[in-house]
Structure 1
Amino acid sequence: MDENASRGFCHGGRSAIRTTSSPPAADRCSAVYLGMLLCGAGFLLPYNSFITAVDYYQGKYPGSTIIFDMSFTYICTAFVALLVNNILVETFSLNVRISFGYVTALVMLCLVTIFDVSLEMFSSDVSYFVTLAAVSLIALGCTVQQSSFYGYTSMLPKRYTQAVMTGESAAGVIVSVNRILTKSFLSDPRRNTVIFFGVSIASVVLCCIIFHATRHTTFVRYHVGVCRTAALDEDARAITHQVCNPEEVGLVEILDGTVTRDHYGVLVLQSPSSPGPDTPAIPGGRDRSGPEQIARAHETQLKFKGHSYKRHISRWDSLKNGVRRRWAVAKGVWPFMLSIGLAYFVTLCLFPGIESEIVSCHWASWMPILLISIFNFSDFCGKVLASIPYEWPRGRLVFFSCLRIVLVPLMMLCAAPRSSPILKGETWAMLLSMLLGLTNGYFGSIPMILAPSTVPDEQKELTGNIMTLSYGLGLTLGSGVAYLLNLWLGPHLTIDPCLPSNSTTLFANISADIYLLPGHPPGNTSIY
């Protein structure tokens, strides 16, 4: 919700908001649902593009922790961006915040694709830094965008929050298919990576276009308008108390005369008997206009006959009020916050870092790509399952989120010790990756879907933002623990573990026998 346009005042304790009995607009052919699904894909697709190109980056920086570093850089920047976004959510409009994410991702993807991957203009050390810097800036833009999207969809019916979360997983599926195809058809790592990033750039552009088309639909405007009206009513009651309090009358300036419109912090109220030009007046006090007119009426500023009020509140007062509102919301939805935080904490302990360290003598450089792809496909299926209606008790939801922690030691046994893992073979790793993705998709979605339904309409966007903050905290802690798990695995092997165990001894024996051949004096170890 664009809260810049949703600050309201009320005179004499009366709300000037008219109720309507008209039915909501319909989502024809589920067009808005599909649009929100693609929008969800748009803000995670850039990050998924970097980590799914794991074979390229591991080949470019052998023996490094590039995947861990990209994950940790993204998550830490994302967490800081979440904090900043929750503070500044009322400063910039929702459209600006979401567009900022798209623009940032597109610019960084284009720069990396052209200058680093295609032209290879940087040295290895500089390229490493450029890659992490690009990931960090993408995290900044996409996190502001993601948090805003969850606040936005919290004002729509529950299934649209599920659509955005399914879109996040769809981003992983799209990127995985893209990487498998480009690697299969082109053997040159640089060329197939350039094409891979090019497809990702085109996908982000498409998602941006779809978002701007979706937000202008009557369905979206109607539901956003309902929540804006509820927020106006809540603020109107709060400001009425301030106006009637002599000690706080300095916060409000009464302006007689011409009504001022379209100013930040200014809301003009008009009695229902004097409707504005954009508000249809219906005899008998009931609004029987269609969804298009209702949506337009919700979007107009409210007026009050004879006076207008201008609010003067300091930044500090606004910040304190924001913290109080968020704390009040958090006290009601904390089980959902805990559940989603635990779900993503467990996932980031293992994905993508530890999964990229699992070695396969059969699949070689394809192994990390396959594991990441299996996770993405399973995550997508889990989020689709989350659309099936089921009212989870809060305690049970937290319990199952905690239960996923058993996946951490099991997955570690597929990678440790590096020379000879305890759970040998690719089947174990693939099975556990599938289970990790399936449970992440389900238990990472359910809390985000259920939480907004437990609060009033005027608190839905704040709920979406707070849930995203918990989600970010779980991601940050999980990515930090992933480094500790990687340290437990020990240093990378200097000898290929897929070679036969006696290959070194065999080679030494062959070299010794060569010394005895005619024309090979002692000290000449060349076999050519």
Structure 2
Amino acid sequence: MGSAGSRRLREPSMAGTPDHTRVTRFGLDSYQLEEEEEVLGTAELQGSGARGLSAFMDAAVEEPVPDDRYHAIYFAMLLAGVGFLLPYNSFITDVDYLHHKYPGTSIVFDMSLTYILVALVAVLLNNVLVERLSLHTRITVGYLLALGPLLFISVCDVWLQLFSHGQAYAVNLAAVGTVALGCTVQQSSFYGYTGMLPKRYTQGVMTGESTAGVMVSLSRILTKLLLPDERASTLIFFLVSAGLELLCFLLHLLVRRSRFVRYHTSRPRDGRPDSRAGPARGPRYRVHHDVAAEDVHFEHQAPGLGGSGPLKDSPAHEVTSGGAYVRFDVPRPQAKRSWPTFRALLLHRYVVAHVIWADMLSIAVTYFITLCLFPGLESEIRHCVLGEWLPILIMAIFNLSDFVGKILAALPVDWRGLHLLACACLRVVFIPLFVLCVYPSGAPTLPHPAWPCVFSLLMGISNGYFGSVPMILAAGRVSPKQRELAGNTMTVSYMAGLTLGSAVAYFTYSLTRDTHHSCSHPTATNSSLPSGP
């Protein structure tokens, strides 16, 4: 408010003991004053630019919280989760095409490890740049890097077949690496993004991750059933995935401008008060109202200093014998923004990690165990009758049950960090169970195809639940201004678990090298869905 006029502070009559101090808060936008009694109380006021001391706005005049009409924002966040896992799922779910084109190779393991290694670098890079590049810039670049390889591989490799066998192998790995860079930047940014929204939207994004797996699995099953030609079905499969990715990107561009998103993402960052926020930076103002002496005066406290000095000589403050007057015609100068130092970056991340360390370990252990088995070992499980359909069905079951687990994560359960970590560690039992489905090679201990299907179902539900709950709870353990960084930090732990799991998965590949030679007619039913086991 830039007028040179002054507003008088009304002091209503008060019957009470003279040793009380009245705290006066200013709602300057409505020119209303709210007064309350408190023993020797003080109130801090913070301003921003020409708005002066607008930090303690009256709750009655604050902007009302916008509604998520028809759950449109939740649906958009769900599709966001689809968008940053759909490209990777598209590359690894067409396992039948990969086995046919690159027989006797560890193509699925190589793709998984390539994706994870690049993704780990990308999430660390994003964690460093979180204060330097805007949130939506990072998300937009991520979408473009994810969409490009899908279109390139579908047209140049699957359709036109422009590359030789060795070149195509390298090009596919390079495409997966590019997808990893784009999708991981999206993913870590979206977790920071939804960390500023209510908790259910983080759960919506994680549900979208599983939805991506379900959609890709169903798309692959349908294209394989409807189009007998493997090359044609794979081309349509990739084009459908590219179309879905483009839809997610366009929807994000629309949702980011909605009142609901702008309200929640701007409040923790601007100068207005937020009941959820911690202490704000910048110059501070203390208002003392001594009821006994009928005196009102201001004290100014510079940021980071313990002392304070009176503002009575300031051109923005005036005291008269008839009462106290405050003028706001001289706004405080804005501090020049500068990049944080490396020490400040590390300290900020240490403080956040110290609060959410149990959640970080929980999500890392959960995904470490999952990546030891999925997609690598699951893609190598064979059956003499089901043939290549078995790994497709196992992966579809995992994606569907993972989707169910992430829906269950929305249940209001108050988990303690250590209890959550203990439950995540119990999932290690899935590793020996899946190994028994492929070892000894050629005559596994659990040969029936129902065993890996049941284990995949249970592993998917537990992965969806214990992979979502830590991410949801972590944002609520820190202040609103730290939620984006908390989301990025959780993504670092998530990617660390994925990386270690992918590395360990190479050990399981040695257990399956002779699996596809164990049947006398391994490819007899590869082109059509069998009628029974």
Band of TM-score, shorter chain: 0.7 to 0.9
Aligned pair in 2 of structure 1 residues 32, 364: CA closer, same or farther (>3 Å)? Answer: same
1:308 is displaced (CA, Å) by 2.1
- Which one-letter code corresponds to 1:105 in the other structure? A
Tell me the equivalent position of 2:463.
Answer: 440
Aligned pair in 2 of structure 1 residues 329, 129: CA closer, same or farther (>3 Å)? Answer: same
Q: Provide the C-alpha distance between the structure 2 equivalents of 1:113 and 1:304, rounded to a whole number of angstroms.
A: 63
1:306 is displaced (CA, Å) by 3.7
Tell me the equivalent position of 1:4.
Answer: none
- 1:126 maps to which of 157, 167, 171: 167
Q: Provide the C-alpha distance between the structure 1 equivalents of 2:278 and 2:262, rounded to a whole number of angstroms.
A: 16
Tell me the equivalent position of 1:311.
Answer: 336
5+ residue gaps, structure 2, are 1-45, 285-300, 308-315, 318-325, 523-533
Q: Provide the C-alpha distance between the structure 1 equivalents of 2:283 and 2:367, rounded to a whole number of angstroms.
A: 38
Tell me the equivalent position of 1:461.
Answer: 484
Tell me the equivalent position of 2:520.
Answer: 499
Assess if the C-alpha contact under 8 Å between 1:414 and 1:428 holds in 2.
yes
Tell me the equivalent position of 1:339.
Answer: 362
Tell me the equivalent position of 1:508.
Answer: none
- Which one-letter code corresponds to 1:492 in the other structure? D
- Which one-letter code corresponds to 2:372 in the other structure? C
1:17 is displaced (CA, Å) by 2.9
The residue correspondences of 1:132-281 to structure 2 (distance < 5 A) are: 132-229=173-270, 234-236=280-282
Q: Provide the C-alpha distance between the structure 2 equivalents of 1:376 and 1:236, rounded to a whole number of angstroms.
A: 48
- Which one-letter code corresponds to 2:240 in the other structure? V
1:339 is displaced (CA, Å) by 0.5
Deviation per CA, 1:435-472: give whole Å up to 9, x if none.
11110000000000111111111111111111111101
Tell me the equivalent position of 2:124.
Answer: 83
Going by fraction, where is strand more abundant, 1 or 2? 2
Q: Provide the C-alpha distance between the structure 2 equivalents of 1:226 and 1:338, rounded to a whole number of angstroms.
A: 30
- 1:396 maps to which of 419, 422, 429: 419
The aligned length equals 434
1:350 is displaced (CA, Å) by 0.2
5+ residue gaps, structure 1, are 1-7, 247-270, 273-284, 286-302, 502-528
Assess if the C-alpha contact under 8 Å between 1:36 and 1:167 holds in 2.
yes
1:98 is displaced (CA, Å) by 0.5
1:485 is displaced (CA, Å) by 2.1
Aligned pair in 2 of structure 1 residues 369, 237: CA closer, same or farther (>3 Å)? Answer: farther
Segment of structure 1 superposing worse, 27-36 or 127-136: 27-36
Assess if the C-alpha contact under 8 Å between 2:196 and 2:484 holds in 1.
yes
Deviation per CA, 1:261-313: give whole Å up to 9, x if none.
xxxxxxxxxx99xxxxxxxxxxxx9xxxxxxxxxxxxxxxxx99444234364
- 1:105 maps to which of 117, 127, 146: 146
Name the SS for the 2:104 alignment partner: coil
Aligned pair in 2 of structure 1 residues 172, 420: CA closer, same or farther (>3 Å)? Answer: same
Q: Provide the C-alpha distance between the structure 2 equivalents of 1:461 and 1:347, rounded to a whole number of angstroms.
A: 26
Tell me the equivalent position of 2:294.
Answer: none
1:223 is displaced (CA, Å) by 1.1
- Which one-letter code corresponds to 2:436 in the other structure? L
Q: Provide the C-alpha distance between the structure 1 equivalents of 2:158 and 2:341, rounded to a whole number of angstroms.
A: 46
Q: Provide the C-alpha distance between the structure 2 equivalents of 1:449 and 1:413, rounded to a whole number of angstroms.
A: 34
Q: Provide the C-alpha distance between the structure 1 equivalents of 2:69 and 2:397, rounded to a whole number of angstroms.
A: 33
Segment of structure 1 superposing worse, 414-423 or 443-452: 414-423
1:50 is displaced (CA, Å) by 0.4
Name the SS for the 2:517 alignment partner: coil
Name the SS for the 1:360 alignment partner: coil
Tell whether 2:512 aligns with 1:471: no
Going by fraction, where is helix more abundant, 1 or 2? 1
Deviation per CA, 1:110-146: give whole Å up to 9, x if none.
1111111111111111100000000001100110111
Assess if the C-alpha contact under 8 Å between 2:88 and 2:179 holds in 1.
yes
Identity of aligned residues (%): 48
Aligned pair in 2 of structure 1 residues 436, 241: CA closer, same or farther (>3 Å)? Answer: farther
Aligned pair in 2 of structure 1 residues 60, 24: CA closer, same or farther (>3 Å)? Answer: same
- 2:67 maps to which of 23, 26, 46: 26
Assess if the C-alpha contact under 8 Å between 1:105 and 1:142 holds in 2.
yes
Deviation per CA, 1:215-251: give whole Å up to 9, x if none.
111111111122223679634369x7568699xxxxx
Aligned pair in 2 of structure 1 residues 115, 19: CA closer, same or farther (>3 Å)? Answer: same
Deviation per CA, 1:500-522: give whole Å up to 9, x if none.
99xxxxxxxxxxxxxxxxxxxxx
Aligned pair in 2 of structure 1 residues 59, 408: CA closer, same or farther (>3 Å)? Answer: same
- Which one-letter code corresponds to 2:359 in the other structure? F
Aligned pair in 2 of structure 1 residues 237, 336: CA closer, same or farther (>3 Å)? Answer: farther
Segment of structure 1 superposing worse, 18-27 or 182-191: 18-27
- 2:408 maps to which of 361, 377, 385: 385
Assess if the C-alpha contact under 8 Å between 1:343 and 1:474 holds in 2.
yes
Deviation per CA, 1:77-97: give whole Å up to 9, x if none.
000101111111122111111
Tell me the equivalent position of 2:155.
Answer: 114
Assess if the C-alpha contact under 8 Å between 2:130 and 2:485 holds in 1.
no
Q: Provide the C-alpha distance between the structure 2 equivalents of 1:243 and 1:348, rounded to a whole number of angstroms.
A: 46
Assess if the C-alpha contact under 8 Å between 1:72 and 1:479 holds in 2.
yes
Name the SS for the 1:236 alignment partner: coil
- Which one-letter code corresponds to 2:84 in the other structure? F
The residue correspondences of 1:416-431 to structure 2 (distance < 5 A) are: 416-431=439-454
Q: Provide the C-alpha distance between the structure 2 equivalents of 1:9 and 1:373, rounded to a whole number of angstroms.
A: 55
Name the SS for the 1:450 alignment partner: helix
Q: Provide the C-alpha distance between the structure 1 equivalents of 2:267 and 2:306, rounded to a whole number of angstroms.
A: 29
- Which one-letter code corresponds to 1:344 in the other structure? Y
- 2:100 maps to which of 32, 56, 59: 59
Deviation per CA, 1:18-62: give whole Å up to 9, x if none.
445244111111111111101110111000000111110111000
Tell me the equivalent position of 1:5.
Answer: none
Aligned pair in 2 of structure 1 residues 137, 241: CA closer, same or farther (>3 Å)? Answer: farther
TM-score normalised per structure 2: 0.77
Tell me the equivalent position of 1:17.
Answer: 55
Assess if the C-alpha contact under 8 Å between 1:15 and 1:236 holds in 2.
no
TM-score normalised per structure 1: 0.78
Aligned pair in 2 of structure 1 residues 312, 168: CA closer, same or farther (>3 Å)? Answer: closer
Assess if the C-alpha contact under 8 Å between 2:282 and 2:303 holds in 1.
no
- Which one-letter code corresponds to 1:482 in the other structure? A
- Which one-letter code corresponds to 2:231 in the other structure? R
Name the SS for the 1:37 alignment partner: helix
Q: Provide the C-alpha distance between the structure 1 equivalents of 2:93 and 2:517, rounded to a whole number of angstroms.
A: 23
1:319 is displaced (CA, Å) by 2.4
The residue correspondences of 1:41-56 to structure 2 (distance < 5 A) are: 41-56=82-97
Assess if the C-alpha contact under 8 Å between 1:87 and 1:319 holds in 2.
no
Aligned pair in 2 of structure 1 residues 235, 480: CA closer, same or farther (>3 Å)? Answer: farther
